[in-house]
């Protein structure tokens, strides 16, 4: 299961990343393995998405979200 | 300035760092909720309780010492480079107490550089509201640094923070956070030895960032590169392990110091607002509505103060004409300088209103939602959601907007944004448009609330956005880049705008506009007045002699005669010759030689147009009868008696101003940001060509 497959309101736990470059950036922003993420909303045009992680809201594109594998 | 210690403010974006800077220094500056508004390095002086003075340096907001944009890269340089004049004696790391986890990552990195640190927990009031309880003393004990809870917005805890700055140790006392050496033991040891550094984390950062650091010599950088190969160092992998180690440390730290009540977080006010503001339909409707409202207000609210300023200048000019003896000097002062100046001054209300609105949008956090909503569209045309901010800022002025593109990490996205931002209708075009629209568009309402003139202006604004997007789309296929674009961005919680801040921005920006534009305009006005008042050889004398002949003096009214003389003089002046020289080129656009003069002077700055028109037409007209520029232009006649400013000419002129790169400051800033003359040159060329073509088409369609 990837983060990009979650619907609004659904939660998951980050397991690993498929892309090293992206993972470095995501982890700095507090989105790292073991962390719970919840999809808060999807932008009106379907992309990007906003997720709740580490106590704040982070927006990222679907393609970026698809590099995050959930448990 | 004489100060005793240097203190740097470091923190994530949206932590209230700029607000704290204002509170500490009493110096105010622009702050916003959008990540990265604090672009330029700002310094101020703070009086400490022990009587010493501290120089406070406000560094750009960043999530980590690994820079993702140009702005962020200066943070590490200033903190680590011992030769840097700004290297602080003490670093105040400011963190958002309601979101300690992510905020502390930066703290641990700064702490490991072993500079003396004070930790400021900002937004304690918000943390309390969110029912987060923080054991401040225990955190301080575990970290080994002073930890000061504050609320910068409310001014709480500031005295304690000042005291902590005053009594801070000169040596770093903080505990190590992670085992840095374990990340690359041999490499760190070797760099420490070869480059002569005594801090393992500094050595590690050198390994990561040596290619972009100015303070390393090429030999040092090469040596580091060799060592990296020798020890098989992989920058991204090392960075990933470091980040994981740091978060492990932070989780341990927060485990018994912070407790949070588990509540349904989705129901926060911010979320409720977001549900409406980023709604599928309402989101865009509201965004369009907000833009419409802003443009309507610019027209409606500024009407009265503009008339007041305009009348004031007309009154001052005509009374000066009465008081001062008539002669070339009076004429230079009253017609040249004051005429040109009045053209700019009347637009202060509009510019202030526009900057006020933009500052509110940034301050509340709405601007980043716009980014979020627009990313998909923007990406289709080769831009980035983050391009929305420079583009909207472009409504005010292209210069700061082009500087704000530094937030866009992707090179290609950033270049395209820089190339198209000057197409957006900036405040300098506003005087030109309002003047021309007022001339040819009737001032009445349609569909109850929509003023026809306001609609025409909104149309020009929308048109500029469309053209910017179209050009971006074309450039997407011209520019080549292998770099990947990404869009990982914080959506800050909504906040009330700080009204004092908004007011200050309005004041500062309009003041800067008047000062900067004013200088150019006065200079251009004086040059123009000289060019318009003198001609080559004895042409002027001959004109005067010609009209002294009895067939003119006896058969014509003296008023009419004066006018004829003045207009013939203008045509034979240096300015007139210049206008005539380019007249054949601009004739297909519907412009005469007088407009030609204005076009030439406008290449310094667009708003010069109005001043130029004022100067040209007051030289031309009767000096005793002062009228506003608009009245003068409205009554202007061609030699055959037809009005000069028909709808075709006015709209053709607007099209020219919509596209042409008539702004010396923008050219300069594009060069500064791209460090290559080919970018501003290409921009100037494509915009001028577009301007000519668009004007040509418009004139021939409406003629």
- pLDDT tens digits, one per residue of B499-555: 877 787 778 777 766 776 677 767 777 787 788 778 887 777 787 787 777 777 766
Q: How far is A43 from chain B (nearest CA, A)?
A: 5
Res. B237: pLDDT tops 50: yes
Mean of pLDDT values over B463-486: 86
Q: Which of A35-39, B157-161, B391-395, B649-653 has the lowest mean pLDDT?
A: B391-395
Q: Say whether both B198 and B144 belong to one domain.
A: no
Q: Measured between alpha carbons, how far is B178 from B440 in angstroms, rounded to an integer? A: 70
pLDDT score of B40 more than 80:
no
Domain range A3-70, its CATH number among 3.30.750.80, 3.30.200.20, 1.10.760.10, 2.30.30.90:
2.30.30.90
Closest-approach residue (CA) in chain A for B274 = A41
Minimal Cβ distance to B243: which of A21, A28, A41: A28
Say if B696 falls within a structural domain: no
Res. B32: pLDDT tops 50: no
Would you say residue B20 lies in a domain? yes
Measured distance CA(B29)–CA(B500) in Å, rounded? 11
The answer on B201 and B120 residing in a single domain is no
Neighbouring residues of B245: CB distance < 8 A, sequence distance ≥ 6: B178, B179, B183
Scored b (16 or more CB within 10 A) or e, B557-583 reads: eeeeebeebbbbbbbbbbbbbbbbebb
Predicted confidence at residue B522, as pLDDT, reads: 76
- pLDDT at B676 > cutoff 50: yes
Look at residue B301 and tell me whether its pLDDT is greater than 70.
Answer: yes
Q: CB-based contact (8 Å) between B98 and chain A?
A: yes
Residues B91 and B226 in one domain: no
In chain B, what residues touch A26 (CB-CB under 8 Å)?
A: 488
**Is the CB of B275 inside 8 Å of chain A's CB atoms?**
yes
CB of B107 less than 8 A from some CB of A: no
Please state the rounded mean pLDDT for residues B626-631: 66
- Split at pLDDT 50, 70, 90, the class of B632 is confident
B487 touches chain A (CB under 8 A): yes
Q: Look at residue B39 and tell me whether its pLDDT is greater than 50.
A: no
Pair B594, B579: CB distance under 8 Å: yes
Residue B263 clears pLDDT 70, i.e. is over it: no
Claim to verify: residue B100 and residue B230 sit in the same structural domain:
no
Six token digits for residue B255: 């485990």
Best of B234, B268, B491 to disrupt the A interface (most A CBs within 10 Å) is B491
pLDDT digits (tens, 9 = 90+) for B208-228: 998 888 788 889 899 999 999
The verdict on a CB contact (< 8 Å) between A45 and B373 is yes
Q: Which of B211, B233, B265 is where one domain is finished?
A: B265
Contacts of B352 (CB under 8 A, 6+ apart): B506, B507, B509, B510
Same domain membership, residue B25 and residue B118: yes
Q: Are B447 and B373 in contact (CB under 8 A)?
A: no
- Whether B131 is in a domain gets the answer yes
In chain B, what residues touch A57 (CB-CB under 8 Å)? 270, 490-493
Same domain, B56 and B34: yes
CB atoms within 10 A of CB B155: 12
pLDDT in the model for residue B250: 94
Residues B35 and B108 in one domain: yes
| Interval A40-57 mean pLDDT | 90
Does any CB of chain A come closer than 8 Å to the CB of residue B64? yes
Whether B64 sits inside 8 A of A28 (CB atoms) is yes
Alpha carbon distance B559, B451 (integer Å) = 38
Given pLDDT bands bounded at 50, 70 and 90, which one contains residue B38? very low
Domain final residue pick, B265, B281, B302: B265
User: Which among B270, B280, B488 is the nearest to A44, CB-wise?
Assistant: B280
What is the enclosing helix (H) or strand (E) of B518?
helix B499-533
Does the pLDDT of residue B364 top 70, yes or no?
A: yes
Interface contact A55-B101, CB threshold 8 A: yes
Nearest Cα of chain A lies from the Cα of B67 at a distance, in angstroms, of 10
Closest residue to A50, CB basis, from B243, B372, B484: B372
- B261 lies within 8 A of chain A by CB: no
Nearest CB to B283 within list A9, A44, A47 = A44
- Quote the DSSP letter at residue B643: B
pLDDT value at position B266? Answer: 46
Q: Does residue B93 sit within a domain?
A: yes
Distance CA B223, CA A55 (A): 42
Q: If we measure between CA atoms, which residue out of B271, B343, B27 comes closest to residue A39?
A: B271
pLDDT at B289 over 90: no
| Confidence band of B37 (pLDDT split at 50, 70, 90) | very low
How is B320-383 classified by DSSP, letter by letter? HHHHSPPSHHHHIIIIIIIHHHHHHHTTHHHHHHHHHHHHHHHHHTHHHHHHHHHHHHHHHTT-
Contact B243/A at CB under 8 A? yes
CATH of the domain at B12: 3.40.50.300
Average pLDDT over residues B351-369: 83
Nearest CA-CA partner of B62 in B91, B36, B86, B98: B36
How many Cβ contacts (< 8 angstroms) between chains A and B? Answer: 111
**A contact set with B (CB within 8 A):** 9, 20-30, 32-33, 38, 40-41, 43-48, 50, 52, 54-61, 64
Token pair 């994530």: residue: B12
Q: Does B601 touch chain A (CB under 8 A)?
A: no
For residue B635, the number of C-alpha atoms closer than 13 Å in the C-beta half-sphere is 10
**Residue B497 — very low, low, confident or very high, per pLDDT cuts 50/70/90?**
confident
Residue of B236, B266, B375 with shortest CB distance to A24: B236
Q: Considering only the beta carbons, identify the residue of A20, A47, A54 that sits closest to B240.
A: A20
The number of domains in chain B is 2
Tell me, yes or no, whether B190 lies in a domain.
Answer: yes
Task: Report the percentage of chain A scoring pLDDT > 70.
Answer: 100
Q: Are residues B162 and B186 in the same domain?
A: no
Q: Poorest-confidence range of B48-52, B115-119, B183-187, B674-678? A: B674-678
Long-range contacts of the stretch B647-651 (C-beta < 8 A, 24+): B647/B440, B647/B702, B648/B590, B648/B698, B648/B699, B648/B702, B648/B703, B649/B590, B649/B591, B649/B595, B649/B699, B650/B436, B650/B437, B650/B439, B650/B440, B651/B436, B651/B440, B651/B698, B651/B699, B651/B702
Lowest mean pLDDT among B47-51, B71-75, B177-181, B321-325: B71-75
pLDDT at residue B623, rounded to an integer: 43
List, in sequence order, the alpha helices (H) in B554-659: 558-572, 574-586, 593-602, 608-620, 629-635, 647-659
Residue B651, pLDDT above cutoff 70: yes
Is B625 domain-assigned?
no
pLDDT of B604 over the 50 cut: yes
Q: Which residue has the higher pLDDT, B3 or B178?
A: B178
Domain boundary among B265, B280, B301: B265
ipTM above 0.90, yes or no: yes
Distance from CA of A55 to the nearest CA of B (A): 6
Whether B110 and B32 map to the same domain: the answer is yes
Query: Quick one: B232 and B162 in the same domain?
Result: no
Averaged over B571-595, what is the pLDDT? 88
Residue contact B372–A64, C-beta within 8 A: no
Give which of B340, B333, B342, B334 is closest to B313, Cα–Cα: B342
CA distances for B129 relative to B263, B455, B461, angstroms:
12, 45, 42
Do residue B90 and residue B117 come from a single domain? yes
Q: CB–CB of B9/B57 below 8 Å? A: yes
Question: If you ran DSSP here, which 8-state letter would residue B156 be given?
Answer: B
pLDDT of residue B63: 92
The domain in which residue B60 lies consists of 5-166
B244 touches chain A (CB under 8 A): yes
Residues B30 and B72 both lie in one domain = yes
Average pLDDT over residues B387-399: 80
pTM of structure: 0.78
- In three-state secondary structure terms, B259 is strand
Q: Is the minimum CB–CB distance between B482 and chain A shorter than 8 Å?
A: no
Checking DSSP bridges between strand B5-11 and strand B90-96, what pairing results, if any? parallel
CA distance A6 to chain B (A): 16
Average pLDDT, whole number, for chain B? 83
Q: How far is CA B119 from CA B76, B116, B123, B174, B509, in A?
A: 18, 10, 13, 11, 33
Chain A residue numbers with beta carbons less than 8 Å from the beta carbon of B237 are 20
Are A58 and B101 a contacting pair at CB < 8 A? no
Compute the distance between CA of residue B552 and CA of residue B556 in angstroms, rounded to an integer. 6
**Closest-CA residue to B379 (of B343, B330, B413):** B413
């Amino acid at each position: 299961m990837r983060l990009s497959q979650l619907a609004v309101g659904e939660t998951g736990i980050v397991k690993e990343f498929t892309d090293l470059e992206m993972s470095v950036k995501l982890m700095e922003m507090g989105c790292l393995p073991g962390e719970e993420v919840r999809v808060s909303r999807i932008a009106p045009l379907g992309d990007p998405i906003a997720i709740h992680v580490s106590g704040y809201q982070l927006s990222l594109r679907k393609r970026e979200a698809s590099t995050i594998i959930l448990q | 300035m004489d100060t005793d210690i240097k203190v740097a403010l470091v923190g994530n974006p949206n932590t209230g760092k700029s607000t704290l800077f204002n509170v500490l220094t009493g110096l105010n500056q622009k702050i916003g909720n959008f990540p990265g508004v604090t672009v330029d390095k700002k310094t101020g002086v703070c009086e400490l309780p022990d009587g010493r003075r501290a120089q406070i340096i406000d560094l750009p907001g960043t999530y980590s010492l690994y820079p993702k944009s140009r702005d962020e890269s200066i943070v590490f340089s200033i903190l680590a480079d011992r030769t840097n004049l700004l290297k602080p004696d003490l670093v105040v790391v400011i963190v958002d107490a309601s979101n300690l986890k992510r905020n502390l990552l930066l703290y641990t990195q700064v702490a490991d550089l072993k500079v003396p640190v004070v930790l400021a927990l900002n937004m304690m009031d918000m943390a309390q509201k969110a029912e987060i309880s923080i054991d401040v003393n225990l955190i301080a004990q575990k970290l080994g640094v002073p930890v000061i809870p504050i609320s910068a917005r409310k001014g709480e805890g500031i005295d304690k923070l000042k005291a902590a700055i005053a009594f801070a140790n000169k040596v770093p006392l903080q505990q190590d956070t992670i085992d840095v050496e374990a990340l690359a033991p041999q490499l760190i040891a070797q760099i420490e030895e070869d480059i002569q550094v005594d801090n393992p984390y500094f050595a590690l950062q050198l390994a990561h960032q040596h290619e972009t650091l100015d303070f390393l010599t090429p030999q040092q950088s090469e040596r580091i590169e060799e060592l990296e190969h020798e020890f098989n160092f992989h920058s991204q992998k090392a960075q990933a392990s470091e980040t994981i180690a740091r978060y492990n440390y932070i989780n341990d730290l927060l485990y018994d110091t912070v407790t949070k009540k588990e509540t349904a977080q989705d129901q926060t006010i911010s979320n409720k607002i977001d549900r409406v503001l980023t709604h599928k339909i309402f989101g865009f409707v509201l965004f369009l509505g907000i833009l419409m409202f802003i443009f309507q207000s610019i027209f409606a609210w500024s009407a009265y103060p503009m008339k007041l300023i305009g009348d004031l200048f007309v009154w001052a000019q005509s009374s000066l004409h009465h008081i001062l003896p008539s002669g070339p000097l009076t004429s230079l002062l009253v017609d040249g300088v004051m005429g040109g100046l009045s053209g700019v001054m009347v637009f202060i209300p509009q510019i202030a209103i526009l900057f006020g609105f933009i500052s509110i949008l940034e301050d509340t956090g709405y601007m980043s939602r716009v980014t979020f909503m627009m990313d998909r569209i923007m990406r289709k045309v080769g831009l980035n959601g983050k391009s929305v901010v420079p583009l909207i800022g472009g409504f005010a002025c292209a210069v700061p907007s082009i500087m704000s593109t530094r937030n866009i990490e992707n090179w290609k996205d950033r270049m395209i944004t820089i190339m198209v931002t000057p197409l957006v209708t900036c405040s300098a075009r506003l005087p030109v448009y309002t003047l021309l629209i007022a001339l040819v568009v009737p001032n009445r309402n349609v569909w109850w609330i929509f003023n026809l003139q306001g609609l025409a202006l909104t149309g020009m604004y929308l048109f500029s956005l469309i053209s910017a997007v179209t050009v971006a789309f074309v450039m997407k296929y011209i520019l080549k880049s292998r770099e990947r674009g990404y869009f990982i961005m914080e959506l800050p919680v909504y906040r009330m705008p700080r009204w004092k801040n908004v007011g200050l921005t309005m004041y500062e920006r309009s003041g800067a506009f008047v000062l900067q534009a004013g200088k150019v305009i006065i200079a251009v006005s004086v040059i123009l007045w000289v060019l318009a008042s003198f001609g080559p050889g004895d042409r002027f004398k001959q004109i005067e002699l010609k009209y002294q002949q009895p067939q003119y003096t006896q058969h014509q009214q003296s008023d009419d005669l004066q006018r004829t003389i003045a207009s013939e003089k203008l045509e034979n002046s240096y300015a007139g010759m210049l206008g005539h020289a380019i007249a054949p080129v601009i004739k297909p656009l519907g412009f005469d030689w007088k407009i030609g003069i204005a076009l030439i002077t406008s290449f310094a700055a667009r708003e010069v147009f109005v001043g130029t028109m004022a100067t040209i037409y007051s030289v031309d007209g009767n000096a005793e009868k002062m009228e506003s520029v608009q009245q003068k232009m409205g009554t202007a006649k061609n030699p055959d008696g037809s009005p000069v400013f028909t709808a075709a000419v006015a709209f053709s002129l607007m099209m020219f101003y919509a596209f042409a790169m008539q702004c010396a400051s923008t050219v300069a800033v594009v060069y500064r940001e791209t460090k290559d003359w080919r970018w501003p040159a290409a921009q100037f060329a494509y915009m001028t060509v577009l301007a000519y073509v668009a004007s040509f088409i418009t004139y021939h369609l409406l003629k």
